[in-house]
C-alpha cells in the first residue's frame, strides 16, 4: 500500500469514529488527547506551566528523604500526562511566570508554599498525603501541589492527571488527602523460575536470570502503575518461599529492582523460608530461640540492608500447607515472628506473619483453625509485627463471611489479605470485578464491644490505635502485554490500590474512574461497562457457588466445578468436606449443633447467622445444613432457589455479551475482540458449572430442575470425567 493510500485509510477510519488500536499496556495511564475541544481548552487555560523549584544547594534534604528522583518522577509524569491530554507541550520551569502555573513543592523545597497552604492542611496530609488546590493570588490563580514529603507530590501528580483523564472540573479544585492504611502492598506469588502460582497473565515480570545486568523497562512502568493508585510496597516472590532469595547473588538482583522502584515510593519486602539457616548455611536447627539461629538472622538482615537500605521487611508463611516454621521446634508463631522482628527493628523494618494455617492432623473445621492458633497469642507479638489475615476463614472463596480473627485480636495489628488474581473466580478468563467483594469485608461489623469496629477500622489501626497498619493484595500481574490477561482484570489491580488508599470509596466510584481512564469518557461506554463490572462478582457467585456454597471447585487448578471430588489425601482438600450434600440437605453446619465456628464471632455478628430464619441467603449454606425442601424467603424451596441462582448467573453473562456487542464502534478493535471472545468462554464455563452442579446435587435431592432452568447439555458423567490440562498458574508437582 502506498503512503498516500495508507494515510487516506487512517483518515477515513478516524472520520468513522473507530477507536485506535490499544493493546492495554498503558493500563489506566493512557493520557490520550482529550477529544472535547472546549473541555481541553478549559484545562489548558487553567494549567499553563509546571513549576518545580531548583533543589537546595546543600544536600538532598530539601527534597525529602527520597531525593530529587521522586520529584523528577512527578515532574516527568505531569509533563507527559498534561502534554498528552491537552495536545500541547506544557513547559517545565523553576519559577512561576504565567497565570495558571502548577506549583509543586514541600515546605523545605519551596518555603513560599507556606503562604498558599495552612499548617492544618500539612498536618492532614501527613507523611504521604498531599494538598491539591486552585488558589487566587491577586488577579491570577495557581494550582498548588504541596506535600510534606516528595512522595506526596508524586501521588498528587497522579491525582491531578486522574481528574483530567476522567473529565472532572478543576476550577474549584481542593483536595487534602492522606492514605488511611500505612503499608499498601502487592504480594507476588512469583517463583524464581518465573512461573507464577495462581498467575493467569503469563510469566513473572521479574527476569531473575539476567538481573542485575539487564533491568527491564517494564519495572518502571510497573512502579508508575502502582504509585498512581498509592501502593507503596511489593513482596517480589511467592510466600511458598525459596531460600535462595536470601543469598548474595539474589540480593544484588533484588537491589537492582529496588533502585527502579525507590523513586516511586515502593519498598521491597521479601518472603521467608523458615528453614533458610539450615538450607543455606547448614545450621543444625531453625529453632527461633536458638542463639545460633538468632545470630544467623541478625547477620543476614544486616547484609540485606547493606544491599537494600530501604528494605521494608519480611512476609512469612510458616507451618501451613507443608511449609516449615517455628512449630517444628515446639515454638509459637509469636516466637518466630519476634525473632525476625528484632532483627529488622533497628532499620525500621516490619514482619508480616500470615495467619493462613491449617493442619491435616487437626480434625476441627478448617474455618476455625487460624482463630484457635492465633487468638491465644494476642499481645505477644513485637510492636513491629502484623498478623496478615485473609478476608474470609477458608481461602479467597467467591463469597465468605469476614474472618473471625478481625474481631478477636485487639492487641495485635492485623493486616487484611485479599486476592486480586481470581483463583476461585474464573482466573484470567472470566470477568469478575472484585471491589464489591472487598467492600463487603471492609464494611463488615465485627460487633466487638468497642464502638465502630468494622474490619476497615481494625485494619487501618484506628479502632485499637495501632502504630502500624497494612493491607495486601495477591497480584494478578504477568508478562502478558496487557499485564493481567483479561483486559478487564486490570480494574482489580486498580481497585485494590484505590481502596488501600481510601477504603471509604464505593465500588461504583472506582469502576467509573477506571472505565473513564482505561476506555472512554463517552457515557455510551461508561454506563454499560461500569454496570457489567458491578454485576460481575455476583454473577460468578451465582453460577459457581451460590447461597453460601464454597470450595466446590475442581482439584488442583481450581478452574471449573468439582463438587464430587472426595479422593484427596486431606479431608479439607475435598469439596465433599464443605458442601456435605446428602439425602436430607446440603451445607456445612457451623452452629452449636455442628462445628460451632459461630462461637468465634462476637454475639452481635453471630446472632443473625445462627438462625435459619434470619441468616442471609448468601451465607445460608456456609453456616447451615439445610433441607432440600426448606422454604426460602422467595417462597421457593432451597432446591429451586439453588438451581435458579445457577441459571441467573448464566443469564447475566448473556446480557453482557449483548451489551459488549453494542460497544464495537466505541472501543478499539483489539480489546473489543479479546473481551468478546472471553465473554463467549465465560458463558460456556457458567453453563458447565450449572449443568455439573445441579446434576450432581440432584443425585441427593431427587428433585427435577425447576421451571426456568435450562436442561443440561451433557450427562453428569461427562463432567465428572473431564480433565483440564496445562491450565495457567498451576502445575501438578506443587
Residues labelled as active-site residues: 321, 395, 423
Cα distances (Å, whole numbers) of residue 310 to 189, 307, 654: 22, 9, 49
By C-alpha distance, which of 539, 586, 541 is closest to 697?
586
What Rg, from alpha-carbon coordinates, does the chain have? 27
83 near 132, Cβ under 8 Å? Answer: no
257-262: list long-range contacts, CB under 8 Å, 24+ apart.
Answer: 257/206, 257/211, 257/215, 257/219, 258/308, 258/310, 258/311, 260/215, 260/219, 260/220, 260/223, 261/219, 261/222, 261/223, 261/234, 262/66, 262/69, 262/310
Q: Give the Å distances, CA to CA, from 233 to 28, 168, 186, 201, 386.
A: 20, 29, 6, 21, 15
Give, in order, the Cα–Cα distances in Å from 241 to each of 379, 385, 449: 27, 19, 38
State which H helix or E strand residue 83 sits in: helix 68-86
Give me the count of residues in the chain: 734
Of 552, 550, 548, 551, the C-alpha closest to 617 is: 548
Do 566 and 576 meet the contact criterion of CB atoms below 8 Å apart? yes
List of residues 6+ apart from 733 with CB closer than 8 A: none
Q: Which residues are within 8 A (CB) of 638 and not within 5 positions of it... i.e. 6 or more apart?
A: 547, 585, 586, 620, 626, 627, 628, 629, 630, 632
The C-alpha cell that represents 83 in the structure block: 502534554
Phi, psi of 176 (to 5 degrees): -130, 115
CA distances from 561 to 392, 535, 645, 734 (A): 21, 21, 15, 21
| Among 530, 546, 452, CA closest to 495 | 530
C-beta separation of 49 from 101 below 8 A: yes
d(CA 174, CA 607): 44
Please, are residues 100 and 48 in contact by the beta-carbon 8 Å criterion? yes
Whether 547 and 694 have beta carbons less than 8 Å apart is answered as: no
Degrees to nearest 5, angle at CA 339 with 335 and 343: 165
**DSSP classification of residue 113:** G
Amino acid at each position: 500500500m502506498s503512503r498516500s493510500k495508507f494515510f487516506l485509510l487512517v483518515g477515513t477510519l478516524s472520520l468513522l469514529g473507530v477507536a485506535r488500536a490499544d493493546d492495554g499496556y498503558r493500563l489506566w495511564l493512557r493520557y490520550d488527547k482529550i477529544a472535547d475541544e472546549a473541555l481541553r481548552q478549559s484545562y489548558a487555560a487553567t494549567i499553563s506551566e509546571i513549576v518545580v523549584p531548583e533543589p537546595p544547594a546543600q544536600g538532598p534534604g530539601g527534597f525529602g528523604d527520597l531525593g530529587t528522583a521522586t520529584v523528577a518522577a512527578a515532574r516527568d509524569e505531569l509533563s507527559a500526562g498534561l502534554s498528552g491530554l491537552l495536545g500541547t507541550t506544557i513547559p517545565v520551569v523553576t519559577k512561576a511566570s504565567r497565570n495558571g502555573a502548577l506549583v509543586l513543592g514541600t515546605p523545605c523545597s519551596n518555603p513560599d508554599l507556606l503562604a498558599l497552604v495552612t499548617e492544618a492542611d500539612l498536618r492532614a496530609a501527613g507523611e504521604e498525603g498531599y494538598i491539591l488546590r486552585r488558589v487566587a493570588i491577586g488577579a491570577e490563580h495557581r494550582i498548588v501541589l504541596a506535600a510534606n514529603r516528595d512522595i506526596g507530590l508524586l501521588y498528587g501528580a497522579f491525582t491531578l492527571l486522574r481528574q483530567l483523564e476522567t473529565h472532572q472540573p478543576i476550577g474549584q479544585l481542593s483536595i487534602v488527602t492522606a492514605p488511611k492504611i500505612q503499608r499498601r502492598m502487592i504480594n507476588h506469588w512469583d517463583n524464581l523460575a518465573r512461573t507464577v502460582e495462581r498467575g493467569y497473565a503469563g510469566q513473572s515480570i521479574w527476569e531473575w536470570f539476567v538481573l542485575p545486568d539487564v533491568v527491564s523497562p517494564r519495572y518502571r512502568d510497573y512502579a508508575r502503575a502502582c504509585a498512581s493508585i498509592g501502593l507503596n510496597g511489593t513482596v517480589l516472590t511467592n510466600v511458598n518461599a525459596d531460600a535462595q532469595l536470601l543469598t548474595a547473588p539474589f540480593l544484588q538482583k533484588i537491589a537492582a529492582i529496588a533502585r527502579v522502584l525507590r523513586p516511586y515510593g515502593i519498598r521491597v519486602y521479601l518472603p521467608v523460608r523458615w528453614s533458610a539457616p539450615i538450607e543455606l548455611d547448614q545450621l543444625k536447627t531453625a529453632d527461633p530461640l536458638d542463639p545460633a539461629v538468632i545470630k544467623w538472622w541478625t547477620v543476614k538482615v544486616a547484609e540485606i540492608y547493606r544491599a537494600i537500605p530501604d528494605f521494608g521487611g519480611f512476609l512469612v508463611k510458616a507451618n501451613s500447607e507443608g511449609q516449615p516454621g517455628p512449630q517444628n521446634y515446639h515454638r509459637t508463631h509469636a516466637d518466630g515472628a519476634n525473632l525476625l522482628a528484632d532483627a529488622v527493628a533497628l532499620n525500621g523494618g516490619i514482619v508480616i506473619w500470615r495467619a493462613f494455617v491449617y493442619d491435616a492432623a487437626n480434625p476441627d473445621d478448617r474455618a476455625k483453625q487460624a482463630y484457635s492458633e492465633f487468638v491465644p497469642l494476642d499481645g505477644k507479638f513485637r510492636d513491629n509485627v502484623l498478623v496478615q489475615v485473609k478476608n474470609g476463614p477458608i481461602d479467597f472463596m467467591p463469597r465468605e463471611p469476614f474472618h473471625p480473627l478481625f474481631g478477636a485480636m485487639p492487641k495485635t495489628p492485623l493486616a487484611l489479605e485479599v486476592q486480586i488474581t481470581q483463583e476461585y473466580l474464573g482466573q484470567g478468563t472470566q470477568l469478575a470485578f472484585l471491589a464489591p467483594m472487598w467492600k463487603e469485608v471492609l464494611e463488615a461489623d465485627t460487633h466487638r464491644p468497642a464502638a465502630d469496629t468494622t474490619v476497615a477500622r481494625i485494619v487501618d489501626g484506628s479502632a485499637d490505635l495501632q502504630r502500624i497498619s497494612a493491607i495486601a493484595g495477591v497480584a494478578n500481574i504477568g508478562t502478558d502485554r496487557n499485564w493481567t490477561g483479561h483486559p478487564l482484570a486490570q480494574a482489580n489491580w486498580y481497585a485494590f490500590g484505590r481502596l488501600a488508599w481510601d477504603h471509604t470509596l464505593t465500588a461504583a466510584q472506582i469502576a467509573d474512574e477506571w472505565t473513564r481512564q482505561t476506555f472512554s469518557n463517552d457515557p455510551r461506554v461508561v454506563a454499560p461497562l461500569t454496570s457489567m463490572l458491578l454485576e460481575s462478582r455476583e454473577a460468578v457467585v451465582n453460577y459457581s457457588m451460590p447461597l453460601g456454597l464454597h470450595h466446590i471447585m475442581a482439584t488442583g487448578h481450581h478452574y471449573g466445578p468439582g463438587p464430587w471430588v472426595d479422593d484427596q489425601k486431606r479431608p479439607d482438600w475435598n469439596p465433599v468436606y464443605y458442601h456435605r450434600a446428602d439425602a436430607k440437605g446440603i451445607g456445612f453446619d457451623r452452629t452449636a449443633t455442628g462445628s460451632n465456628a459461630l462461637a468465634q464471632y462476637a454475639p452481635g455478628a453471630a446472632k443473625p447467622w445462627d438462625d435459619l430464619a434470619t441468616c442471609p441467603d448468601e451465607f445460608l449454606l456456609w453456616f447451615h445444613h439445610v433441607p432440600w425442601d426448606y422454604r426460602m424467603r422467595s417462597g421457593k424451596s432451597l432446591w429451586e432457589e439453588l438451581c435458579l441462582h445457577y441459571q441467573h448467573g448464566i443469564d447475566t453473562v448473556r446480557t453482557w455479551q449483548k451489551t459488549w456487542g453494542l460497544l464495537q464502534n466505541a472501543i478499539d478493535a483489539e480489546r473489543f475482540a479479546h473481551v468478546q471472545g472471553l465473554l463467549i468462554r465465560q458463558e460456556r464455563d457458567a453453563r458447565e458449572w450449572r449443568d455439573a452442579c445441579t446434576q450432581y446435587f440432584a443425585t441427593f435431592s431427587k428433585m427435577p430442575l425447576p421451571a426456568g432452568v435450562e436442561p443440561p447439555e451433557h450427562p453428569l458423567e461427562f463432567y465428572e470425567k473431564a480433565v483440564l490440562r496445562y491450565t495457567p498458574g498451576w502445575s501438578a508437582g506443587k
